[in-house]
Amino acid sequence: MPQRTLPRRALLAAGLGTAALAAPARAQSAPEVRWRLASGFARNLDILFGAAESLSKSVAEATDGRFQIQVSAAGESVAADGLLDAVSAAKVEMGHAPATLGMGKNTAFALAAAMPFGLNARGQNAWWLQGGAAELFSEIFAKQGLTALPGGNTGTQMGGWFRKEIKTVNDLQGLKLRITGLGATVMAKLGAAVQATPGPEILQGLESRALDAAEWIGPHDDERLGLQKAASIYHYPGFWEGGTLLHFWINADAWKGLPKAYQAILRAAAAQVNTEVQARYDARNPQALRRLVSGGAQLRPFPQDVMEVAWKAANEVYTDLSAKNPDFKRVYDALRTFRNEEYLWFQVAEYTYDNFMIRARARG
């Protein structure tokens, strides 16, 4: 029978038959892959640890379970401070943590996460996705056998919990302060005795007075760690982390060996998580802050003169690190240029609108 006289139902059946034959063939060509992902965060940090779980679930669903990523919390399979080494050595295929863990290898790593007086979360995301940061860092990370995908942002962090209010720069002298990253370098320059206490040990450090103060992240996570039990002065803002970008770290050889379709799925899943993490913080931080204040937390802004002195110290640190490390200089120069352009735009539209809305809220 000529094709033009075939009933429509027959043509549909033929098409369905072709699709039915093609689907199993595609499934058979998709390999089964089993990866391990070590999170740099404890399970009780639901947003941060949950980011890795969300990625794993999305990848499994998109591949009908053929690409499985098993997630472990900090310390379960890999110690948090050894996470990048473990990924580089293929002890695990993936990790989830801020790039500050790589500062000991190359100080430029810190700039992939956050720097004092750097970009806010929106700016950091724009710089990575559209401003050339991904290309700048790909070479630096490759030297360590790593590749990376953005994996969420905490937003601007709080300044942390203090037993005594910081009123002048002199109050920082000898202060036993838990802080990490480039923020620790700047605060040490201002006279603080900085300590890189792991998250789960911060409360104990404050209670035992091994610490006078500690910064962690923000209201939601700080409350979950119970930091409000050991100190009452809650300073803001965390000028050392205006928008901390997290990354999913991937062993470079494992990434190259992954089918292109699976690479695309992993990129899409990471992009989804990158959006989800900050949305969760923005949704949960307001209520957590209300609970903390109701429970006795005393909100205190850092004095303007402290911010100005810290700004000066931060720029001195960047000049020094740029002189010592060409990678740091190359990335920092690009970041500074992008930051200045971003804040020009924010000043014109974003701040004007935000400041009006803050005043409007006060009027009810």
CA atoms within 13 A on the CB side of 67: 24
Using the Cα atoms of residue 70, residue 76, residue 77 and residue 81 in order, give the sign of their dihedral: positive
Task: Tell me what the mean pLDDT of segment 16-27 comes to.
Answer: 39
pLDDT band at 361 (very low <50, low <70, confident <90, very high): confident
Among 17-31, 110-124, 326-340, the minimum mean pLDDT is found in 17-31
pLDDT at 20 over 80: no
Residue with tokens 């890999």, as numbered in its chain: 78
DSSP assignment letter at 347: I
Instruction: Tell which residue, 218, 205, 266, has the closest CA to residue 60.
Output: 266
Q: Distance between CA atoms of 325 and 320, rounded to whole angstroms?
A: 9
The pLDDT assigned to 118 comes to 97
Sequence-ordered alpha helix ranges (H) in the chain: 8-29, 46-62, 83-88, 121-130, 133-142, 181-189, 202-207, 219-225, 252-256, 260-294, 304-324, 326-345, 351-363
pLDDT at 12 over 60: no
User: What confidence tens digit (pLDDT) does each residue in 172-205 have?
Assistant: 999 999 999 999 999 999 999 999 999 999 999 9
236 CB contacts (<8 Å, ≥6 apart)? 158, 159, 299, 300, 301, 302
pLDDT at 24 over 90: no
Q: Distance between CA atoms of 47 and 53, rounded to whole angstroms?
A: 10
Q: Distance between CA atoms of 195 and 177, rounded to whole angstroms?
A: 6
Q: Whole-model pTM?
A: 0.89
- Kind and range of the H or E element at 97? strand 94-98
User: What confidence tens digit (pLDDT) does each residue in 79-100 have?
Assistant: 999 999 999 999 999 999 999 9
For residue 258, which phi and psi values (nearest 5 degrees)? -80, 135
The pLDDT assigned to 221 comes to 98
The pLDDT assigned to 5 comes to 36
Q: What integer best gives the mean pLDDT of the chain?
A: 92
Instruction: Tell which residue, 322, 355, 127, has the closest CA to residue 242.
Output: 127
Q: What letters, b where the CB count within 10 A reaches 16 and e where it falls short, cover 43-66?
A: eebbbbbbbbbbbbebbbebbeee
Between 14 and 338, the higher pLDDT residue: 338
Q: Distance between CA atoms of 303 and 128, rounded to whole angstroms?
A: 31
The pLDDT assigned to 203 comes to 97
For residue 263, which phi and psi values (nearest 5 degrees)? -60, -45
